[in-house]
């Protein structure tokens, strides 16, 4: 299986598992919490059929990647992504992030610039800033995140069961757009993740990405459901689309958090149409920003 070495914890190397399929313009897929790259199951075939090279990887602590007890912050996540991109010698690639993966898209461009990035896509993402503060009144009260941390710490398996009900809006879509087996499969992936990562990632959800989002200077697509119970649309996608100059916004009516599964056809259509557009369309083209030394 393909891995890239991204660091060490004491005497043990930290490896990220990735898959690299197809040819054509590269698209890098970044999964959400608490899943793995396998969660892109409904997008990978569509992207390959459209002629893209598709790279999907597991975030540290999740899926088939190493499970260290350190590095669960967005600077490290972005560095891990940069090491993968460098290892594969990617140029002219699109970054597509779901949920937590939207944070990697923003932080990667914020830290490393957009020299080799062609486009950015954020699906149900955590940017720009989820925490309610004096200068961010649209955010979510900090007590909500504290409650999640306590629940994960007490019994993460029970937490995952409750979490996936809102992840898929199972009271609305179970047996229609998502099966019991698909929800169980998600739970199985979550249960196999690192216990450390499962808890340590929760505070990263309210990272302040406003400075990173302001530096996105490539064509950008934001997709989110307006019934997202995990990441409120009004505090995330709606604001991100306004903050990125020329960004396109696609709102999936009645869509839950994981629209990539429940509304895959709509998501795939929006994604493929956006990727197929010439780079200058969809956003005013600014000079590509290089990484800051």
CA–CA gap between residue 64 and residue 60 (Å, rounded)? 9
pTM: 0.95
Domain with 122 in it: what CATH number? Answer: 3.40.50.1820
127-174 per-position pLDDT tens digit: 999 999 999 999 999 999 999 999 999 999 999 999 999 999 999 999
Rg (CA), the chain: 18
**Is 67 within a domain?**
yes
* Dist. CA 127–CA 242, nearest whole Å: 12
Task: Identify any residues that bridge with 95 across adjacent strands, giving them in sequence order.
Answer: 28, 120
Per the DSSP assignment, residues forming a β-bridge with 13 are 8
Q: Is residue 286 part of a domain?
A: no
- Domain span at 180: 3-276
The CA–CA distances, whole Å, from 289 to 28, 55, 110, 118, 119 equal: 19, 23, 9, 12, 13
Q: How far apart are CA 86 and CA 189, in angstroms?
A: 28
Q: Is residue 285 part of a domain?
A: no
Q: Is 62 within the bounds of a domain?
A: yes
Q: At 178, phi and psi to the nearest 5?
A: -150, 135
Joined tokens for residue 140:
């979510």
At residue 280 the predicted structure's pLDDT band, cuts being 50, 70 and 90, is low
Query: What proportion of the chain, given as a percentage, has pLDDT over 70?
Result: 95
175 neighbors 238 (Cβ within 8 angstroms): no
In a domain? residue 282: no
> Domains in the chain: how many in total?
1
Residues involved in catalysis: 99, 228, 257
- Give the Cα separation of 138 and 231 in Å (integer): 12
- Rounded to whole angstroms, the Cα distance separating 97 from 122 reads 5
Tokens of 40: 């892109």
**Rounded average pLDDT over 7-35:** 98
Residue 47 phi, psi dihedral angles, 5° rounding:
-65, -40
For residue 292, pLDDT over 70 is answered with no
């Amino acid at each position: 299986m393909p891995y890239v070495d991204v660091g060490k914890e004491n005497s043990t190397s930290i490896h990220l598992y990735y898959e690299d399929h197809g040819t054509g313009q590269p698209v890098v897929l970044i999964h959400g919490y608490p899943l793995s790259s396998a969660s892109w199951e409904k997008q990978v075939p569509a992207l390959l059929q459209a002629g893209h090279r598709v790279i999907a990887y597991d975030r540290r602590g999740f899926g088939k990647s190493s499970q260290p007890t350190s590095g669960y912050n967005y600077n490290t996540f972005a560095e891990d992504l940069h090491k993968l991109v460098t290892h594969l010698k990617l140029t002219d690639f699109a970054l597509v992030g779901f949920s937590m993966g939207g944070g990697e898209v923003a932080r990667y461009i914020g830290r490393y610039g957009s020299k080799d990035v062609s486009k950015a896509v954020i699906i149900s993402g955590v940017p720009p800033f989820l925490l309610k503060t004096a200068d961010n009144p649209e955010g979510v009260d900090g007590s909500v995140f504290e409650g999640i941390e306590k629940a994960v710490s007490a019994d993460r398996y029970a937490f995952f069961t409750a979490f996936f009900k809102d992840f898929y809006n199972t009271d609305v879509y179970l047996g229609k757009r998502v099966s019991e087996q698909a929800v169980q499969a998600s739970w199985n992936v979550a249960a196999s993740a690192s216990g450390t990562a499962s808890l340590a990632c929760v505070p990263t959800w309210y990272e302040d990405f406003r400075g990173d989002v302001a530096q996105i200077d490539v064509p950008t697509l934001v997709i989110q459901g307006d019934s997202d119970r995990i990441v409120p649309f009004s505090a995330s996608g709606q604001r991100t689309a306004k903050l990125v100059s020329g960004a396109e916004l696609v709102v999936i009516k009645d869509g839950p958090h994981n629209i990539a599964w429940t509304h895959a056809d709509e998501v795939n259509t929006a994604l493929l149409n956006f990727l197929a557009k010439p780079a200058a369309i969809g956003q005013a083209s600014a000079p590509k920003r290089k990484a800051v030394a």
